[in-house]
Amino acid sequence: MKKVIAMILCVVFLFSLTACGGADTSSGNTSAAPNQTQSNDQAEENNASDAGSNPAETLPPGNAGGAVDALEKQFAALEKDDLKWDYNSSTKTIIISGEGPMRDYYETAPEWDKYSAEAEHVVISDKVTSVGAGAFYYFQALADVELGNDVEFIGNAAFTNCTALRTVNFPANLKYVGNSAFNNDLLHSENGFAFPEGMLYIGTEAFRSAFKENTVSIPASLSVIGDDAFANTFVSAFVVDENNPEYASVDGVFYDKSVATLINYPADKRDTLFEIPDSVTTIRKNAIEVTNTLEKIVIPAGVTEIEEGSIFWNYALSYIDVDENNKNYKSEDGVLYTADGKLLLSYPAASERTEYTVPEGCERICNYAMSQASNLTELHIKDGLEEIGIYSLYLCENLAEAGLPKSLKTIDTAAFQFCDTLTRIDFAGTRDEWGQVEIKERNELLTDGRVQIYCAE
């Protein structure tokens, strides 16, 4: 039942935030799928906020003349379908055959889900026009998917958490890939991945953590791409058709058409320096993350908006520079702040400092801002800080001591998670005042005795 619950959560909450012969062959009609479920707490935890049940409610600009809306209506959720399925145990292959669309599996799992731990191959035959939402959610052994020529629509979370999945083809007729459809897979192709001309839509987080060492080519027709569609993904370069009306690529980096919004820097791009173009005014959430070679980022004067969680987990990054003429942001010894100093946005993960003091006047350490700061052993925060954000010090593996101010009100979710060397916190307030600090979940080391809390009595 937990697997079905996780699937429902994955589909309902939008981001806050195929007949084959052989031994022991099973078969059935997809319209009579019982509630086959499989327990997995980790899948439930990792996929509780990634996909919406109605992508049309959150469409980005550029709806391709209403074509996306029309396609969604065409493939609206069915109560039943006329497709057949077979499983060949000798080849560990599920084959879906028949004609027309596949139903969605939001509240019940498909009948073939009983093979989710062993099926390695999926074949969607020609004449099948869609893959339903959740159809192959968390198929742990699935290695490759062959989509038939007539597949136009891939539903929300259709292949989410298929962590062994490496190979999939995108047929020429494909138009739509739903929210979180391939989230947390690890697709790879020596020739890269090219979405077909005629494709219209990629949903929110559709390919989050899904590509490895690949170029991704975006055709002129693909004008609706949801938030974080390629977040946390090891793409080596984005290549956008110059005739695309909504998007552009410059030196492999993914932007909006006017190169005013930085959407994704390829995590597998091997440069050490990234000078953001002068035309950029907005840096999106998850824009520059999980790089391994990037050492320095230069932010130009014209940037007016840096979304929270836009620069983090860059393992070689040691310095963030901001043009001195920028009126909205500043760099303090390589650390990114808002110009007024109230928000600490990003601390370079590879900074050589072992001690750091957050200056007076900073009110919030933003989400992910100091996570995985590998060399940091001591952190001191001056008075005025009120909130330590989500995952803000996550996996600071050498952090041993922290000094927290009396003004602190909230330690948000997982702020100190996996700071396993942390043994001491000096709090500038009294014991009663420490008791009033809201400590949210996944900060158990602050409350279970592993960390000694010293207060000013």
Domain boundaries, the chain: 1-232
The per-residue DSSP string of 37-87 comes to: ----HHHHHHTSSS--S-GGGGPPS--GGGHHHHHHHHT---S----EEEE
pLDDT value at residue 5: 42
Looking at the DSSP assignment, which residues form a beta bridge with residue 286? none
Residues of the chain with pLDDT under 70: 1-65, 77
Looking at the DSSP assignment, which residues form a beta bridge with residue 343? 364
Residues 239-248: pLDDT tens digits? Answer: 999 999 999 9
CA distance 134 to 4: 9
pLDDT value at residue 30: 45
CA 373 to chain centre: 20
CA distance 384 to 381: 9
Per DSSP (E only), the strands in 245-395 are: 247-250, 253-256, 261-264, 273-275, 282-283, 288-289, 296-299, 305-306, 311-312, 319-322, 329-332, 335-338, 343-346, 355-358, 364-365, 378-381, 387-388
Residues 357-391: pLDDT tens digits? Answer: 999 999 999 999 999 999 999 999 999 999 999 99
pLDDT value at residue 31: 39
Phi, psi of 180 (to 5 degrees): 60, 25
From residue 9, how far is each of 42, 157, 215, 390 by CA, in Å?
Answer: 13, 11, 31, 20
HSE-CB of 265 using CA atoms within 13 angstroms: 28
pLDDT value at residue 237: 96
Q: How many helices (DSSP H) and strands (DSSP E) are in the chain?
A: 4, 36
Nearest CA among 395, 355, 391, 354 for reference residue 375: 354
pLDDT value at residue 65: 56
Instruction: Give percent above pLDDT 90 in the chain.
Output: 77
pLDDT value at residue 288: 98
CA distance 86 to 123: 10
